[in-house]
Each structure stands twice: as structure tokens, then as C-alpha cells.
Amino acid sequence: MNTNWFRGLLALALIGLAFGVYGMYERLFFGLNPVAFGSYVPWGLWVAFYLFFLGLSAGAFLVTILTYVLNLKHFEGIAPLSAFVVLIALICEVQFILLDLGTMHRAFYQFFLTPSFSSLMTWMFVLFNAMLLIYAVKTFLLIRGGLIRRAGENKGPAAKIYALLSLGRRTYTEEMSRRDDRWVHILAWISLPVGLLFYGANGAFFAILMNRPIWNSAMTPLLFVVAALLSGGALVAFLTHVFRQKDPFNPEGVCREDRLCMDLGKVVLFLLAVFLVLEAMQFFVGYQTAKTDIVTSLDLMVKGQGARVFWVVHLLIGSLVPLALLIFGAHSPRAVSWACFLIFITFIAVRYNFVVSDLAVYKLEGLETAFVHSRLTTDYAPNLNEWMVSAWIISTGLIAFVLGIRYLPVLAGWNGGNAHEVR
């Protein structure tokens, strides 16, 4: 990452932190009192962001499938970057969900003291930690060689930090590289069922709720897996293009990362098509059943409070424009990366509509006027506090990402060869 981009993104993140600091103060000192959601719409923007980052974390999962299941070994080169992105996404994800809890401190011990394995949330907790562990170890193994090399190259505090991150190792032999590579393969294979369960369980988390007409479908877990692969894959494709390194012998030509980006673009195009078909089926089946609660939820999405987000942000900017770019600009890495950028950045709209539209329907007639209070209504729009806290969390993720890209050897596998740097 060049210095201008580094400084620019860091400044953006610092502005985000400054914007969010008061929101965090309110959240930490006054609990959930400053938020806009209530008891009839109990989940709002933060849960939507949680799902958004959950999807983004699936980028490495997609790369793993491509590399090990479909045996497309050239994708192995972007493994460190994608694994690192998973870590950042998981860190943002956990912050969102922790801050969404009414009594946050209890989450740190109550899951261990009195877990209930009949709850899918417990399984999400287990699978989340499994994913975090797998990708933390995987990222470490993938960049260990680079860390050791940098510890030797640098002096002063930087050398100490690199030595600390590489757990004190001073040399990185061929034998260690082979061993790390073997473990990375093992972890990649383990991450396949764990990832599938993780993304599927997140879908099932919503699907099992029988009183939630849009969510309560066997298709929801499948939709979640596809959505996660789509948004995560789009993010990795975009980053692959952003951090490409031009071929010094042919700077105007298509470099290796550009080819990877275009290949990922084809996968993203396929996933986008599948996702849109599944979504269309959801609408078709919903409207055909003509059950009042289903139709009301769908109407809220396409005609009600979520209409602009659905038609403009999700369908037009996040689906149709990328679809055109991916079809007609398939041979242009720039067009593909723009398409992928639009897909992943607008995916928050998909998540928001998914969460809020189903919640925003009264479950019993007359409930809206039975006891009037701002917490007892289905009219929900995120307030400034929720946006400020969101800005804070995203900024922490951006800072970690920018610093990681700049100072950690996550782009070590670029320009061919093994991801492990051997000294």
C-alpha cells in the first residue's frame, strides 16, 4: 500500500473514530438507552452490520473452496490476504454483537457457565470462536516467514514487535516452511465444514423462528451461505485488484493479481446470479402464499420504509450495475473490481432489509395501540447514536486492516511463489 493511500485511509479511520467516540461513550455509560430500536423491533442497524461483516468474513472460505475443493491452486497466493480479511471482519462482527447486548459483560462468562445447546446462538458462539481460532492460526502460519524476516531486517522497537509477533523465532527454514504449509492445508480443510456450519447456522438462527414469515424457511440457511460467499468473494476480488503489483517487465499489461481478480469475478457473477434467483423465489413464493404477515413484510421491503434501500441501493447499485459490469466488462480488471466493490459495499442494504422488514410487522392485531411508547412500535430508523457506534467499530476495523496491510507481510505471496517467505 503506498503512503498516500495509507495516510488517507488512516485519516478516514481517525475521523470515523472521532465521529463515533461520543456514541461509544453513550453506549458504554447508558447501556441501550440511547438506541432507537425497542421491544417490537429488537434488532436494528447493529445486527444488520453484524450480518454484513459475517458475510465479508466468507471471502477466505470462498478462496479455500476454490483452492482445495475445486483444486484451482493459483488462488493460493491470495490466502494470506483473505485470511487476514477474515480476522478483521470477525473482529468488527464481534464488536457489533457485543455492543448490541443489553448486559454485555455477562457474555464473557455466561456462555461458559450456563450454555444452552438447544439455542443456535450458543452454536454461533462456538462456531465463531472456532473460525476466529482457525483464521488467527492460519494467518499466523501464512505470514510467519515474513515476520521473522522483518524482525531481522528492522531495528529498535519495530524489530521487537516483529519478534514478538513471530513468537521469538529468529530463523525460518525450508523445513519450517513445509511444516507451516502442511498445517495451513489441514486448517483449510477443517475450515470447510466449520465455515459451512458457521454461515449455515447463522441462517438457521433466523430460519427456526416460526413466527417470522420471511425468515422461517429452509431456504434461509442456503441463502445465508450464498450471500456470505457473494459478499466475501466480492471483497476479496476487489482487494486483489487494489493491491495488485504491476509486472515490472510489462507495466501496462495484465498482471497476476488482475487475472485472479477476473477469475474471482466469474465466481462472483455466478454467486450473484444464484443469489438473485433465490431472492426472487423468496418474493414469488411469499406473494403467492398471500398470507397477510408475509405480504406485509415483503411490501415493507418493496413499497414501504425499505423501498428506496431495496430498489436503488440493493437492486440497482448493488445488483444490476455489477451484473452488467461483470458480464460486459469481464475482461477488464477495473470493471470487475468496481462491480465487486459495489456488491460488497451495498450488501449492508440487503442485511438491513432482511432484519428489519420481518421485525417491523406486528404479531397481534391491536398491539400497536395497546400500550403506547416509542419502544413499543415497529417504526424503526437507526438514530445518530447507532450510526456513531457503527462508525467507531468500522473505523477500528479499518485501522487494523490498514496497519496490517502496511506493516504485516499479508501480501507476501504476491507475484507468484509460495505464500511463505523463507529466510
Partner 1 sequence: MARILPQEDFLVRMQRDLKRALAGDADAVKWAMVIDLAKCIGCHACTLACVAENKLPPGVVYRPVMEEEIGRYPEVRRRFVPRPCLQCQNPPCVKVCPVTATFKNKQGITVVDYKRCIGCRYCLVACPYSARTSDFGEWYTKPTPDADGIIFGRKAAAKAYEAMPAAEYKKKWPQRGKGSPIGNARKCHFCLHRLAVGMLPACVTSCVGRSTFFGNRNDPESLVFELLASPRVYRLKEELGTRPSVYYLA
**What cell was used for 279?**
431472492
Q: Supply the minimum distance, in Å, between the C-beta of residue 101 and partner 1.
A: 5
Which CB atom, from 30 or from 328, has the smaller least distance to partner 1?
A: 30
Measured distance CA(352)–CA(342) in Å, rounded: 16
Task: Name the site residues for partner 1 (rule: CB under 8 A).
Answer: 30-33, 35, 38-40, 42-43, 100-104, 106-107, 110-111, 113-116, 118-122, 125, 208-212, 359, 362-367, 369-371, 373-376
Sequence-separated contacts (24+) of 14-20 with Cβ below 8 Å: 14/395, 14/399, 15/395, 16/391, 16/392, 16/394, 16/395, 16/398, 17/391, 17/392, 17/395, 17/396, 17/399, 19/388, 19/391, 19/392, 20/388, 20/389, 20/390, 20/391, 20/392, 20/393, 20/395
What is the separation, in whole angstroms, between the first and last Cα of the chain?
23
Residue 159 burial by Cβ neighbours in a 10 Å radius (0-12, 13-18, 19+): middle
Q: Supply the minimum distance, in Å, between the C-beta of residue 115 and partner 1.
A: 7
Which CB atom, from 119 or from 173, has the smaller least distance to partner 1?
A: 119
Main-chain dihedrals φ then ψ at residue 413, nearest 5 degrees:
-80, 0
Q: Supply the minimum distance, in Å, between the C-beta of residue 38 and partner 1.
A: 6
Closest by alpha carbon to 348, among 7, 44, 48, 5? Answer: 48
Q: Give the count of beta carbons closer than 10 Å to the beta carbon of residue 89.
A: 26
Q: Supply the minimum distance, in Å, between the C-beta of residue 156 and partner 1.
A: 44
Which CB atom, from 249 or from 371, has the smaller least distance to partner 1?
A: 371
| Whether the Cβ atoms of residue 49 and residue 98 lie closer than 8 Å to each other | no
Which CB atom, from 32 or from 219, has the smaller least distance to partner 1?
A: 32
Q: Supply the minimum distance, in Å, between the C-beta of residue 31 and partner 1.
A: 5
Q: Which residue matches cell numbers 516467514?
A: 145
Which CB atom, from 46 or from 53, has the smaller least distance to partner 1?
A: 46
Measured distance CA(137)–CA(61) in Å, rounded: 15
H/E stretch holding 26 reads helix 3-30
Q: Supply the minimum distance, in Å, between the C-beta of residue 375 and partner 1.
A: 3
Which CB atom, from 40 or from 238, has the smaller least distance to partner 1?
A: 40
Q: Supply the minimum distance, in Å, between the C-beta of residue 113 and partner 1.
A: 8
Measured distance CA(277)–CA(287) in Å, rounded: 15
| Whether the Cβ atoms of residue 422 and residue 172 lie closer than 8 Å to each other | yes
| Whether the Cβ atoms of residue 236 and residue 60 lie closer than 8 Å to each other | yes
Q: Supply the minimum distance, in Å, between the C-beta of residue 358 and partner 1.
A: 9
Residue 17's contacts (CB-CB under 8 Å, 6 or more residues apart) are 391, 392, 395, 396, 399
Q: Supply the minimum distance, in Å, between the C-beta of residue 132 and partner 1.
A: 17
Q: Supply the minimum distance, in Å, between the C-beta of residue 310 and partner 1.
A: 21
Which CB atom, from 27 or from 241, has the smaller least distance to partner 1?
A: 27
Which CB atom, from 121 or from 274, has the smaller least distance to partner 1?
A: 121
Q: Supply the minimum distance, in Å, between the C-beta of residue 112 and partner 1.
A: 10
Which CB atom, from 375 or from 406, has the smaller least distance to partner 1?
A: 375
Residue 4's contacts (CB-CB under 8 Å, 6 or more residues apart) are none
Which CB atom, from 103 or from 250, has the smaller least distance to partner 1?
A: 103
**What cell was used for 419?**
505464500
Which CB atom, from 119 or from 288, has the smaller least distance to partner 1?
A: 119
Measured distance CA(271)–CA(144) in Å, rounded: 33
